[in-house]
A and B are shown apart, each in its own frame.
Chain A
Amino acid sequence: DQQVKQNSPSLSVQEGRISILNCDYTNSMFDYFLWYKKYPAEGPTFLISISSIKDKNEDGRFTVFLNKSAKHLSLHIVPSQPGDSAVYFCAASGFSGTASKLTFGTGTRLQVTL
């Protein structure tokens, strides 16, 4: 059962426009949400996060929005740049066992075209 879902495997956006990546989750116990960016042949790198007590977090061109009632979060990139072309993973954090663990979505491949 996929607890974190990214329903769009890919997205193509023109340079300068807004990119919107979406993520849905099912577990209401998740308390923190993160976005990671991954380039080919590299490990994922942390991009931006949001606590479950907030509904928006901004960092430069990147903004994450959280709608707890809908169990939905989105990542906005404005303006999109060619270097933003990568796979983006949504992740949700929840504590169980002996650690806070991340549950990842399947990823969305973003291509920013010239």
Chain B
Amino acid sequence: DAGITQSPRYKITETGRQVTLMCHQTWSHSYMFWYRQDLGHGLRLIYYSAAADITDKGEVPDGYVVSRSKTENFPLTLESATRSQTSVYFCASNPGQGAVYEQYFGPGTRLTVT
């Protein structure tokens, strides 16, 4: 499907486990972002990437790792999941060309850490 997709849509994992959330976009957008949404906090930026092999920390990066070997994929890994990482995770992309500020979001992954 065209656009931006995330998998899985729902995930339950145990404390201490490693889990990877996938994000794939078909627009060849340069910029990709990972956010988490928590009640009372809105959406907070975890990591972002300006291009393949270029990644940078956002507001809340601790406990997360990202990679971007291909333009279309931007996986987010929780190396050792904690209960505080229970959240809804959104991936987004932006073309990175011209005065385009809008980011386009995926449907989200609801992660529960038990």
Chain B contacts with A in 38-97, Cβ cutoff 8 A = 40-45, 48, 50, 54, 56, 58, 90, 92, 94, 96
Q: Is A89 an interface residue (CB 8 A)?
A: yes
Closest 9 CB pairs of A and B: A43-B105, A106-B42, A98-B50, A104-B42, A104-B43, A46-B102, A32-B101, A93-B101, A44-B105
- With A32-B101, A49-B102, A98-B50 given, is the CB distance from A44 to B45 under 8 Å? no
- Residue in contact with A99 in the complex, picked from B42, B48, B107, B108, CB distance below 8 Å: B48
Q: A60 interface residue, CB < 8 Å from B?
A: no
Would you mind naming 8 contact pairs between A and B with Cβ atoms under 8 Å apart?
A6-B42, A32-B101, A34-B101, A43-B90, A43-B107, A49-B101, A93-B101, A106-B42
- Give chain B nearest CB distance to A24 CB in angstroms: 13
Q: Are B108 and A41 in contact (CB under 8 A)?
A: yes
Q: In this complex, what residue of A is CB-closest to B100?
A: A100
Please tell me if the beta carbons of A89 and B43 are within 8 angstroms of each other in the complex. Answer: yes
Known: A34-B102, A98-B50, A101-B58. A89 touches B108 (CB 8 A): no
- Within 8 Å CB of A6, what residues of B? 42
A97 within 8 A of B: yes
CB-defined contacts of B94 to chain A, threshold 8 Å:
99-100
Query: CB within 8 Å of B: which of A22-50?
Result: 32, 34, 36, 41-46, 49
Does B15 lie at the interface of the complex (its beta carbon under 8 Å from any beta carbon of A)?
Answer: no
**B26 contacts the other chain (CB 8 A):** no
- B106 in complex: contacting residue of A36, A43, A101, A105, CB < 8 Å: A43
State A89–B31 Cα separation when bound (angstroms): 21
**Complex-state Cα separation, A42 to B5, whole angstroms:** 11
B108 / chain A contacts, CB cutoff of 8 Å: 41-43
